[in-house]
Amino acid sequence: MGRLTIENISDLESFIDGCTFFGVGGGGNPQEGFAVLKEVLDEKGPIEWKNVDEVDDNNTALCTFLMGSSAPMTEEKQIAMQSLGLTQRKYPQNLFNAVLEWENYTSKKADVIVPIEIGGSNMPFPMAVAKKLNKIIVDGDYAGRAIPEIFQTTLMLEDVPFTPGVSVDKFGNVCIIKEVVNVNLAERLGKYLSAVVFGSTGLAGFPVKGKQLKRLLIRGTISKTYEIGKIIKSVRDNKTSLREALKIFDGQLLFNGKVAKKEIINDECYYKGFHIIGGENEFKGNQLKIFFKNENHIAWKNEKYLVSSPDLICCIEPNQIKPMRNSEIEEGTHLEVYAFPCPPILREPKILKWLNPKYFGFDLEYIPI
């Protein structure tokens, strides 16, 4: 794809829609992503990104992202936060602080900022950090979708360590993660740090040089996300068929219906459960069940396995043409559910072993869409 630019609010709205849609139910809060990218758009002008081949082989690329459960805030959590003194936000845009703390700790300069995934905040926020700190934005990420755990990425193809890493929460708690046994423990440490403050933490880590970045980056995903956001906006404005429009990206309509039941699985660190959707229109008399762990991972139609991660399962509210996150979906919500093939690199054994039905606890073999 050619280079694209976010130049105005309309462009930004389209981009955030695309990020939310390809966030497959997770990937962070799009309102936060919109706000932070709008701020730098107003302050510093149009937001551009480069082809990774334009990056110098010796540049340092740093990955920064938000980590935490996407579960809704509850009154119980708010009471606990009050008791712990988590009331004043010292670092409301904590990913900026995470990058600065990383540079301060390592005495190194990050030249490039890379999103770990696509999502409503986890793609726009790193781009905003890069723009504000005058660093390079490259057209790509490490997952080609949103993922619940940091080792479900292309970084694992070359066993890139997370450390040295930094965690900064919005309330001003700063943690240096100097060493970890493995990246699975880095995920666990990060998740517990976010659970302690009942929200998300901003992390910076996975430093690589430009030469390695060129091998590991899933290329073109910022442009692709922007393009699909434009398609969603066009369908919304012109009342055309989303089903037809998404075929350009090999999107397949899996189901159309209304959420009949939502089952939540108690988990401190992840937002887990099932959406059970009763069919409408051509799907009347059928049922779709979706398992989610922050993001959507497995879909069954009438109890028959249909599609799963690493392929993408994306939900959109058909009346408003609004991409939906799992925390927003309630009983009674109307949904269209689409599936997209994942970037082929996610089917590599070193990634697929962490991103398939068996990993999520289901006795199913992954079948590519």
Tokens for 340, please give them.
């997209």
Q: Please check whether residues 186 and 303 belong to one and the same domain.
A: no
Q: Please check whether residues 305 and 187 belong to one and the same domain.
A: no
Residue 367 covered by a domain: no
Q: Please check whether residues 321 and 181 belong to one and the same domain.
A: no
Domain range for residue 258?
A: 241-352
Predicted local distance difference test score (pLDDT) of residue 282: 96
Q: Which residues of the chain have pLDDT under 50?
A: 1-2
Q: Write the CB contacts of 233 (distance below 8 Å, at least 6 apart in sequence).
A: 10, 13, 14, 17
Q: Please check whether residues 258 and 317 belong to one and the same domain.
A: yes
Q: Please check whether residues 254 and 215 belong to one and the same domain.
A: no
Residues 69 and 267: their CA atoms lie apart, in Å, by 9
Number of domains into which the chain is organized: 2
Q: Please check whether residues 177 and 296 belong to one and the same domain.
A: no
Task: Say how many C-beta atoms besides its own lie within 10 A of residue 87's C-beta.
Answer: 9
What's the CATH number where 153 sits? 3.40.1610.10
Residues 107 and 122: their CA atoms lie apart, in Å, by 25
Give the phi and the psi of residue 215 in degrees, each rounded to 5.
Answer: -80, -30
Q: Please check whether residues 73 and 116 belong to one and the same domain.
A: yes
> β-pairing, 60-67 with 272-279?
unpaired
Residue 228 covered by a domain: no
Residues 104 and 98: their CA atoms lie apart, in Å, by 10
Residue 364 covered by a domain: no
pLDDT tens digits, residue range 73-94? 678 878 887 887 868 888 888 9
| Chain position carrying tokens 């992202």 | 65
Predicted local distance difference test score (pLDDT) of residue 2: 46
